Chain A
């Protein structure tokens, strides 16, 4: 089971500059653990202290925001693409 993970520029220091890497896992959580074993330091950028997806990072399975699926427990299938993007937010106050 192979999942393609698209890595944003800001996280490519963890992947030797690669914009996409492969990893395995039945769920997002397993995938993130596998990613961490291959590319140390990624996990802390994706997972918050409470063990769930970090608040200001968007993780997508194919086209869907994982928050609207099952969060970190979202099930993955062979051939899925997972994308990671730090959220873009701010404001006048």
Chain B
């Protein structure tokens, strides 16, 4: 495990609420904000990025085992980020019947190496969120901090 990813509690609540809103189907969305700039002289971990926009993107697959962002809604989200000069920080989706760990499909289809992949498992009563980098087929977990405290991690 290397690196850290910081989220505020309100964002986490919104992701979980979004997940419950279409349970048992998977939901997906995008988190945007200003990424810590290397040229600011601080490491990415020194000054965590702050989520400034949450985009709930409809799951075109409306499936319990997969998601595919609805293309038009996704375009609108990315255009809004461009207009507001926000960076894509994270891509989130729920697993409604499996653990919060990237599936082979998640790894195969991970096309945004700069984004953190957040997976929220709703298979148990207590939601579990974990954060990963998925780059060229390699999964690396990040320590997820919520409001500055390490998030409780459920069983894999």
Binding site for B on A (CB under 8 A): 6, 8-10, 19, 56, 58, 60, 63-65, 67, 83, 85-93
Give complex CA distance A67, B88 in Å: 25
Give complex CA distance A83, B112 in Å: 16
Distance in Å: Cβ of A69 to nearest Cβ of chain B: 12
How many contacts between A and B, using CB within 8 angstroms?
91
Contact A92 B71 (CB under 8 A): no
Query: What are 25 A-B residue pairs whose CB atoms fall within 8 Å in the complex?
Result: A8-B78, A10-B111, A10-B112, A10-B113, A56-B111, A58-B74, A63-B75, A86-B111, A87-B71, A87-B111, A88-B30, A88-B69, A88-B112, A89-B105, A89-B109, A90-B66, A90-B103, A90-B106, A90-B109, A91-B26, A91-B61, A91-B67, A91-B95, A92-B64, A92-B97
Other than the given A8-B78, A90-B110, A93-B105, 12 more pairs (CB < 8 A) read A6-B82, A9-B88, A9-B114, A65-B72, A67-B71, A83-B75, A87-B68, A87-B71, A88-B109, A90-B105, A91-B26, A91-B66
Which residue from A64, A67, A91 sits with its C-beta under 8 Å from B105? Answer: A91
Contact A85 B67 (CB under 8 A): no
Interfacial chain A residues near B104, Cβ < 8 Å = 93
Give complex CA distance A8, B30 in Å: 15
Contact A86 B112 (CB under 8 A): yes
Binding site for A on B (CB under 8 A): 26, 28, 30, 57, 61, 63-69, 71-72, 74-75, 78-79, 82, 87-88, 91, 93, 95-98, 102-106, 109-114
Interfacial chain B residues near A8, Cβ < 8 Å = 78
Which residue from A58, A67, A83, A88 sits with its C-beta under 8 Å from B91? Answer: A88
Which residue from B79, B87, B105, B111 sits with its C-beta under 8 Å from A88? Answer: B111
Interfacial chain A residues near B66, Cβ < 8 Å = 89-93
Give complex CA distance A58, B78 in Å: 12
Distance in Å: Cβ of B116 to nearest Cβ of chain A: 13
Contact A91 B112 (CB under 8 A): no
Contact A89 B69 (CB under 8 A): yes
Give complex CA distance A9, B116 in Å: 14
Distance in Å: Cβ of A63 to nearest Cβ of chain B: 7
Distance in Å: Cβ of A74 to nearest Cβ of chain B: 14
